[in-house]
Structure formats: C-alpha cells, structure tokens
A and B are shown apart, each in its own frame.
Chain A
Amino acid sequence: MAAGALSQDLGSVGVAARIRARPVVVEIVVLVVLAIVALAGVGLGSVRISPADTVAVILWRAFGIDVGATWAPATEAIIWELRLPRVLTAMVIGGGLAVAGATFQGLLRNPLADPFVLGTSSGAALGAAVAILLPVDVAILAFGLLHALAFGGALMAAFVVFRLGGSGGPGGLTRLLLTGYAIGSVLAALLTLAMYVSGSDLRQIFSFLLGGLAGASWPRLVVAAPLIIASCALIVARSRSLDGLLLGDSAARHLGVDVRRERGILLALASMATAAGVAISGLIGFVGLVVPHLVRLLVGPSARRVIPISAIAGAALLVAADLGARLAGDVPVGVVMALVGAPFFLFLLGRTRSGYEL
C-alpha cells in the first residue's frame, strides 16, 4: 500500500518496516544513488575527470547545451566514446537483470530463482562458445556472431524449457524449475565439451562466462537497450498479475488473472530482457538474484513496487560494481559485486526483524 491508513506503522517493528511505509522515499533515494554512481562512473577511471567537466561534456554532446566550460578533446572522447556508453550499458543491463530476477522469483513463487533459472545462461554461453569456435567471422556494425548466437541461445533455451515444462497443473512450477535445471545441465555439458576442445579460444569463452562491460559501445547499446527497456516496461504493466500469483495459481485465477497466459507472457518478457543483456555483457550473476530481495526488504513484496525499484537499484548496483572493477584494475565485475555485495546483503538480512527468510 503506497499511502494512507494501511501504511501507518505501529512502531517497534524496526527500521525496515518504517521505510516500507514510504516507497516513494525509497524510490527517490535509489534514484539519487543511481545519479551519483552514474556520474562517478563517467568521471572516475585511469583518467580522472571532474564532475563539472563531466556534466558539461554530456550536456554539450547530448543536448547541444553550452555551459561555457572548456575541456581537452581527449576528455570529450573518454567521456563520450568510452565511459558514457559503458555506464549506460551497465545501467540498462543491471536494471534488466534485476527486473527479470524479480519476475522469475514472483512467477515461480521461488525466492531462489534468478534470471538464469530457465537455462538462459547456459544457452547464451553455449551460443557464445559456438560462435567463438566457428572459423567464420561475420560482423554487422558492432554485432558479431557471438552476440547473435548468445542472444539466440538464451531465448532458445528458455523457449524449450517453457515448452517442455510449462504445461501447468498441480506441481507445475516444480516441473518447470526441474525442466530448467535439466535443460541447463545438457547445455552446460555441451559448453564444457566446447571448452574442452577450444584450445587457444578457451580464454575468450571464459571471459564471456565471467561477464563484463568492456565490450560496451553506442551501437550495441542502441540495439540492446530498447529490447530490455520495452520488456521491463511491459512487465511493469503486468505487475498486477504477478501480485495475484503471490497467493498461488488458483487464487490468482479467482482474482481474475488468466494464469497460463500471463505466466507465458511474463516468462517471455523476462527471458527477452535477460537474453538481450547477456548477449552484450556475458553472464553477470548476483544482481538478478539479490536486488529484488533487497528491494522487498525495503518496500514489501508487491510487484508494483518491487519491479520499478528493482530496475533502478539493479542499474545502480551494476554501474557501481563496474566502476569498482575498473578502478581495481579491470577485475571481472561479477567478482566485485559478489565480494562487496554479498556481505552487505548478509548484513541487511541479519538486521531485519520482519521474519524475512530466503
């Protein structure tokens, strides 16, 4: 409940419960954090650029606004050609993975679900490995075979899992999860085989598995962002169905939700957001699993709040983690995120007294 009598906290329930009563406050705080880490992400790096110059260059290049500042051409190139597309890509992918994770968790009624639960990660990785091993090299603009096969592999895996396991009925969710696990295992086995025979290409496959944003560029962003943003927007528009499913299939049906149809659509949208993200960045874990839980700790489980706030928080987390990874000398972003994020998450879990459990 966003406001009104229902949200009045009766006190003595702890900080989390009091913040929960004010989702708008959380939204604003998360947006401010996102703005700060985004500015830091553009300004910081091997060459440090002041926030004023950063804002001036972005205003000039993006909107043609001249604020009367001057800067070296190299500064402009670093901001506009390197860091800004990278930061924006991190924002879009981090937000998309967090929304996909929240969607999968809600749909499957399983707190351990993440964007890769339907085998999208294995599908993408196998696609990427095949692309790396094939002796052909086609590229249209900034898109190579790797992006195409990773994207296609992720979607194909999700599609196969849904077709085989998504028939519904009693125990349908368990069936879907187990099908995802089984298909994922087959794909992972094939991936292992591909890595085994890859020889000198192993390093390239490995770097896809680790994930990272070094490959970010404007053309890639321009193609991936609309897919991810549109998927997330359509998920937000269907959050009512996600809320109904919190009570289970039959209750959702009695509340007017066309369970089978909504589940299919939402799984497709979340898979699309995931596939478009991993095709650019490789496999980036953690953000999709943890951010939705973090958000639920703050604002409760209603999808209407969890989905949009997860998008912003996921964006902020991946930008921050990518910045940390660059500053630490280009270590994989997943390493930074897990090393810093997981203890923070554990700390929050320990602080909550609302009976929250994973």
Chain B
Amino acid sequence: MTIEPILAADGVTLAYGARPIVIDASLAIAGGERVAIVGPNGAGKSTFLRALTGVLTPRAGGVRLCGAPIATVDRMVVARTIAVVPELAQLPFAMPVDEVVALGRLPHEPPISGLRPSDEAAVVAAIERVGVGHLRRRDARELSMGERQLVFIAVAVAQAASILVLDEPTAHLDIRHQVEVMELVRDLNERDGTTIVAVLHDLALAAHFFPRIVVMDGGRIVADGPPAATLDEAHIRGVFGVDPALVRLPAGAA
C-alpha cells in the first residue's frame, strides 16, 4: 500500500480476562473511506471499535492513527481526529440540547474560557445538519430514545473530526430516521470527506449505504470488501445462521 491508512489495526487481539473477544484482527482504513462492520451479537464488533478508538489497549497487535501508535498520540489530538457518537447515557442533570451538543467542542475550545464564536457556529451547524433544531431548548433527558440518538450524533458531528465512529447509530430509530441517519453519514463522507466507521446490525442498510463491509464472527474478521463479496449467501448463512432470503439486499449487492 502506498498511501498511509488514516486508521489501522495490526493483528489486534483483545480479551476480557482469559476470554478472547477479538482475535488477530487487521484492518486498514484509508482517509475518506466509508466502512461498515457487521456480525452477529458477540462477534467482538464493539470491542474492536473500542480498540480502534484508543479506549482499550490490545493484548497483542496495535492500532495506528495516521501512522502513529494511538497510545502515544495526545488525547486531545485523538479527540480532534476521531469523534465517537456517545453511548445513550442518562444525563445526571437537566440540560438543554444545544448545551449537550456543545460538549462536542471540548477538544477544540480553550480550557478555561470555553466556547468561542467559531465553536458556537460549529454547534449550530451540527444541530442543523442532524436536523434537531426544533429540539434545541428541550431538556435532553425528556427526549425519546430516537431523538436522543440524533442529539448524540450531533455531539460527534460538532466535534468536527476527520474520522466519525458510530456504534449501532440506528438502534433506536424508526425506518425513516434510520435512512436519514445513513444519508447524513453518507453526506458527511462524500461532501466533507469524513472517514466513517460504523458498526451496524441491519445488513440491508449496510449494503445499501457502505461500499466496504467488514464481517466479524467469533472475534475474527472473516470477510472484508464490497457488499457483493462480503454479504453473499454463503456469508449470511454461515456467519449469521439465517436463510439469506430473509435479508433483502439492494439489487446488485449480492
């Protein structure tokens, strides 16, 4: 490979205690790519994602961010490079949506004085982009799961990093919002050049919106490539254990 990948895992192995979760996973993601990671529950997708974002340190192997071992990169620099959509944590206090989204600017703003006008502009832009402008003054704790999911995506968008990582971004959304989020993600990728790494459960969405699919099973990467090659009948039957006829993939995908 001639171009340095923006994010790369080299033989990553992760374990909780003696139980291996991810085994010898290697993945190179180039800047501007759009990658979906799919696999059955317990395949190690989320754990692998935590290693890719520098939260977990692998037992063996390593993760490089722009060529540098991620553990050696300053946390604030990592946070300005990789934005991760937060888990749907319950907020301890009442908090308006725009202030929640503003937390995405923490890695950028000056530590003491807080938001600069440019940060506020980024927050407003993120809110508009994700389409949660009507929720701006609402208490984030009063929102539905779906609305909260969108707000937390806006936090990561406000972070304005070159890599956006999403773990099950459509889990709590109805079909219309699922498609809207996927379209937003594609737009961020195509228009802004943001590299996207997403863990998805919905194979049809993954095949439709992602040109590159990584299939994980039992902690290993078992397939990596375009949907036509990775979400074929053999993989769906072998990895997910279901009749491929149950999964309606976009025409030409499989």
Which chain A residues have a beta carbon within 8 Å of chain B's beta carbons? 1-2, 4-6, 9-10, 13, 17, 105-106, 109-111, 236-237, 240, 243-244, 246-248, 250-251, 253-258, 296, 300-302, 304, 354-357
Q: Are A247 and B89 CB-contacts (below 8 A) given A254-B79, A354-B94?
A: yes
Stretch of B34-42, B57-65, B100-108, B202-210 that contacts chain A: B100-108
Q: Are A6 and B91 CB-contacts (below 8 A) given A248-B86, A255-B107, A301-B99?
A: no
Besides A5-B124, A240-B111, 6 other A-B contacts (C-beta < 8 A): A4-B120, A6-B102, A246-B93, A248-B86, A255-B159, A256-B79
Contact of A255 with B104 in the complex, beta carbons under 8 Å: yes
B115 interface contact, C-beta 8 A? yes
A265 to chain B, nearest CB (A): 14
Contact of B111 with A4 in the complex, beta carbons under 8 Å: no
Complexed CA–CA distance, A354 and B93 (Å)? 11
Contact of B103 with A255 in the complex, beta carbons under 8 Å: yes
Contact of B137 with A258 in the complex, beta carbons under 8 Å: no
Complexed CA–CA distance, A10 and B89 (Å)? 27
A4: which B residues are within 8 A, CB to CB?
117, 120
Q: Are A1 and B102 CB-contacts (below 8 A) given A110-B92, A255-B107?
A: yes
Interface residues of B in 131-177 (CB under 8 A from A): 136-137, 139, 141-142, 155, 159
Chain B's closest residue to A236 (CB) is: B112
Interface residues of B in 63-93 (CB under 8 A from A): 75-76, 78-80, 82-84, 86-87, 89, 91-93
A2: which B residues are within 8 A, CB to CB?
114-115
Contact of A1 with B87 in the complex, beta carbons under 8 Å: no
Q: Are A255 and B89 CB-contacts (below 8 A) given A4-B117, A355-B139?
A: no
Contact of A354 with B86 in the complex, beta carbons under 8 Å: no
Closest 8 CB pairs of A and B: A256-B79, A251-B86, A248-B89, A301-B93, A254-B84, A109-B92, A256-B76, A256-B107
Q: For B86, B103, B159, which residue has the most chain A Cβ atoms within 10 angstroms?
A: B103
Contact of B93 with A296 in the complex, beta carbons under 8 Å: yes
A14 to chain B, nearest CB (A): 11
B25: which A residues are within 8 A, CB to CB?
none
B168 to chain A, nearest CB (A): 14
B12: which A residues are within 8 A, CB to CB?
none
Complexed CA–CA distance, A119 and B254 (Å)? 62
Contact of B115 with A253 in the complex, beta carbons under 8 Å: no
Contact of A10 with B137 in the complex, beta carbons under 8 Å: yes
Complexed CA–CA distance, A10 and B111 (Å)? 29
Complexed CA–CA distance, A198 and B111 (Å)? 51
Contact of B95 with A300 in the complex, beta carbons under 8 Å: yes
A302: which B residues are within 8 A, CB to CB?
99, 114
Complexed CA–CA distance, A244 and B102 (Å)? 10
Interface residues of B in 15-30 (CB under 8 A from A): none
Contact of A355 with B141 in the complex, beta carbons under 8 Å: yes
Contact partner of A247 among B96, B103, B117, CB < 8 A? B103
Contact of B120 with A255 in the complex, beta carbons under 8 Å: no
A236 to chain B, nearest CB (A): 8
Contact of A248 with B87 in the complex, beta carbons under 8 Å: yes
Contact of A256 with B106 in the complex, beta carbons under 8 Å: yes
Complexed CA–CA distance, A17 and B95 (Å)? 11
Contact of B94 with A301 in the complex, beta carbons under 8 Å: yes
B53 interface contact, C-beta 8 A? yes
* Interface mask (B43-55 → A, CB under 8 Å = 1, otherwise 0): 0000000000101
Q: Are A257 and B139 CB-contacts (below 8 A) given A248-B89, A251-B86?
A: no
Contact of A255 with B106 in the complex, beta carbons under 8 Å: yes
Contact partner of A250 among B80, B86, B139, CB < 8 A? B86
Complexed CA–CA distance, A356 and B92 (Å)? 10
Contact of B92 with A246 in the complex, beta carbons under 8 Å: yes
Complexed CA–CA distance, A38 and B76 (Å)? 43
B98 interface contact, C-beta 8 A? yes
B249: which A residues are within 8 A, CB to CB?
none
Interface residues of B in 172-210 (CB under 8 A from A): none
Chain A's closest residue to B165 (CB) is: A254
Complexed CA–CA distance, A149 and B155 (Å)? 47
Q: For B80, B93, B95, B137, which residue has the most chain A Cβ atoms within 10 angstroms?
A: B93
A244: which B residues are within 8 A, CB to CB?
103, 106
Q: Are A304 and B114 CB-contacts (below 8 A) given A247-B86, A248-B89, A256-B76?
A: yes
Contact of A300 with B96 in the complex, beta carbons under 8 Å: yes
A315 to chain B, nearest CB (A): 21
